Amino acid sequence: MGGLPPRKEPRTMSVVSEPDVYAYADEANKIDAYVAALSALHTRPPSYVHTWQTQNIHISTLGVEEEIYRDPISLEEMIKLIRAHLTPTSEATAHVTVHMPGQDWFANLSVLCQAARYGSEEFAVQPLTVNYGRTYMFLTEVEVAASHEALSVPVGAAMLARFAQQDIENILRRFCAPDASGRVKAGGVTVRDKDRRMEGFWWNAPLELSATYNVDLHVARDVALSWLYLHEGDRVEYIAGLSLDALAARVEAAPKRTTIGLAPTTKLLIDHLGEDSDASDHEETRGLHAGAIRRVPRARLPEDEELSREQVLAILQTPPEVLLQALEAAAAVPDEPWVEAERRALEALEATKKTEQKVVVNVDTYAHRCFMERHAPYHVRRLETGGVMIATHCYRHLWPLWSEALALLGIRP
C-alpha cells in the first residue's frame, strides 16, 4: 500500500485508523446491492492516475479450490464475474477507483461482500463493507495560498473537515442508496480514533457512529439498534433487518427503569470499544450466539450519559417527522467557534483559487483532531430515494446531536 495520490502537488495519506462504512441488505438482495454499490462508487479514472490504483476482484467460495482473481479489470467485467460466480457460500473483495469530490482526488477503496454461509458460524451475518484499499480515504494536508500558510488550528480543521465530510457522506449515500430500490435497510460509518490507540472498529451503536443511513424516515431505528447493542450485546448487523415493531418489542421486554450509558466524547467511546473487544474474548462476558459481541450490558464509565428504557420507548412512539425536525433543529444550532473558523477557511480557499503561489499544509495534527471532535457540524440529509442520512466528521459521533434533539422534544432533560 504505497505511493501518493495523483496530484499536481504531492499529498500524504492518513496514518490513523480509517473509518469503515457498513450497509445491511438481506441475503436475498445482498449480491444485487453489492453490484449496485460498486457501480455507484466506481469512477473511471483519468490517465494520470497511478497504475498501482488499478481495479481488481477476488472471489473465493467454500468447497471450490480455485479462487478467482483478476487485476486489472474493468467494472463491466467485474460485475460479470460477480454475477457468474458469487454464491451463498462466497466472499468477494473488489478494489475500485472512487472520486473524492471534497478532496478532489481518486481513492482506491476496498468493497467487501461476504455471504451468510461463508466462513464460521461466529460471523453468520456480515454487512457489506467499504474501507481503505490501495489508498486511504482521507488526506492529511490541504493546498493553500502561500499568503495563508500560517493557518490557525481552527481554520485548518474547518478546511479539512469541509472536504472530508463531503466525501464520507458521498460514499455512504452511493453505497447505501445508489437507487430507489431500498435493498439496503441501514448503514453506518465508524469513528476515527484521534488518539491513535485503536485501529479498526466494528458496527457499533448507531448513536455512537459518525454517520448513519436509514432506508426511510424512521430514524428512531438508530436508537432501538443502539439499545440492543448496548444493553443486550447484539451486533448491529445481526439485528438491522428486524422491523421497527420487533425492535420496540425487544426494548419493551427490558425491566422498567433500565438504563444504558452513552459516551459523550469520542475519547470515551474509544475506551468503551476497547472494553467491548475485551468482553467479546472473555469467557464470562462473551456472547452466547453468533450475533452477540457480549451477553451483558456494556460496562459504564463515570462520564457516560444515561438513556432509559422509557425514553427509548418514547422516541419510538414519536412521529418520524417530528423526530426528524428536532434533529434538523439541533443540527442548525450555530457553533460559534466553528462558524468563525469556517468563515476564515472559505476566505483562505477563495484566495488559493486566485494565486499560483501555493503551499501544502498539514491540517491533521492532534490539535486539529481535537477541534473537529468538539465542533465539527452535523448534517441531517433527506435523500431523494426517501431515506435519511445523519452525519458529522469521523472524529466526532452522533450522540451529542441526538442528546440535543431529545432535549428539544422534552424526552431528556
In the chain, % helix, strand, coil (3-state, to 5) comes to 40, 20, 40
Best CA proximity match to 109, nearest among 188, 1, 216: 1
In a domain, 358, yes or no: no
Cite the DSSP H helix spans in 118-194: 153-176
Answer whether residue 328 is part of any domain.
no
Packing angle of the helix pair 153-176, 366-375 (nearest 10 deg): 60
Residue 11 lies in a domain: no
SS3 195: coil
Which residues are CB-contacts of 25 (< 8 A; sequence separation ≥ 6)? 32, 33, 34, 128, 183, 184, 185
Spatial neighbors of 239 by CB under 8 A, at least 6 apart, are 225, 228, 229, 247, 291
Total number of domains in the chain? 1
Are the CB atoms for 384 and 162 separated by under 8 Å?
A: no
Whether 50 maps to a domain, the answer reads yes
State the 10-residue block means of pLDDT for the chain, 413 residues long. 31 56 94 97 81 83 91 95 92 94 90 75 75 87 88 94 94 97 97 69 93 98 98 94 97 97 94 90 86 92 97 98 98 96 94 92 92 96 97 96 98 95
User: So what's the pLDDT on residue 198?
Assistant: 60
Spatial separation of the C-alpha atoms in residues 393 and 154, rounded to whole Å: 14
State how far the Cα of 138 lies from the Cα of 167, in Å rounded to an integer.
9
- Amino acid symbol at 252: E
For cell 491540517, name the residue. 363
Residue 74, domain member (yes or no): yes
pTM of this structure: 0.92
Which residues form the domain of 310? 18-323
Which H/E stretch holds residue 310? helix 309-317
Q: Which three cell numbers stand for residue 349?
A: 480557499
Residue from 220, 240, 228, 244 nearest 326 by CA: 220
